[in-house]
Amino acid sequence: MTEMVTNIDRNRRLLNRTGAAVAMSLIVILAGALSGIMLYEIPEKNHDIVLILITTVCNAVIGVTGYFFGSSAATSRQGEIIATQANTAAKLADTASKVTGGES
C-alpha cells in the first residue's frame, strides 16, 4: 500500500532540509570563527566586535538547534502521532461498519 504524499508533507520535508542547511552553515561559520580566534591574534581595537559577532553566531546556532531538536520538534511528532491514531480509528470504524452491514 502506497501512502499519498500531500503538499503539507512536501513543505515539511523542504523545511527540514532548509533547516538542516541553515544549521550546518551556522556550525561551519562558528567553527571557522573559533579557529580564526585560535590561530590569529585579534587587534585590540577589533576584539570586542569579534566577540560580539561570535556570540551572535552562537546564539543563532542555539536557536536553530532548539527549534529543530527541542520542543517544536516534539510538538510536531506529537501532532503526527495524533493524526496517525485518528486515521487508524477512522479506518477501523469504516471496517466495522462494513462488517456489521452499516449498523452502528
Residue 22 and residue 45 in one domain: yes
Residue 48 and residue 77 in one domain: no
Distance, in Å, from the CA atom of 17 to the CA atom of 15, rounded to the nearest integer, reads 5
Residue 75 and residue 28 in one domain: no
pTM (2 decimals)? 0.54
The answer on pLDDT for 56 being more than 60 is yes
Residue 40 and residue 78 in one domain: no
Distance, in Å, from the CA atom of 68 to the CA atom of 36, rounded to the nearest integer, reads 28
CA-angle at 80, arms to 76 and 83, nearest 5°: 140
What is the domain range of residue 89? 70-104
Distance, in Å, from the CA atom of 64 to the CA atom of 18, rounded to the nearest integer, reads 11
Q: How large is the average pLDDT for residues 67-83?
A: 74
The answer on pLDDT for 101 being more than 70 is no
Residue 14 and residue 40 in one domain: yes
Q: Which amino acid is residue 60, in one-letter code?
A: A
pLDDT number for residue 45: 93
Residue 53 and residue 85 in one domain: no
Q: What is the pLDDT of residues 15-26, one digit of tens each?
A: 778 878 888 888
The answer on pLDDT for 5 being more than 80 is no
| Sequence-separated (6 or more) residues with CB below 8 Å from residue 58 | 30
The answer on pLDDT for 103 being more than 60 is no
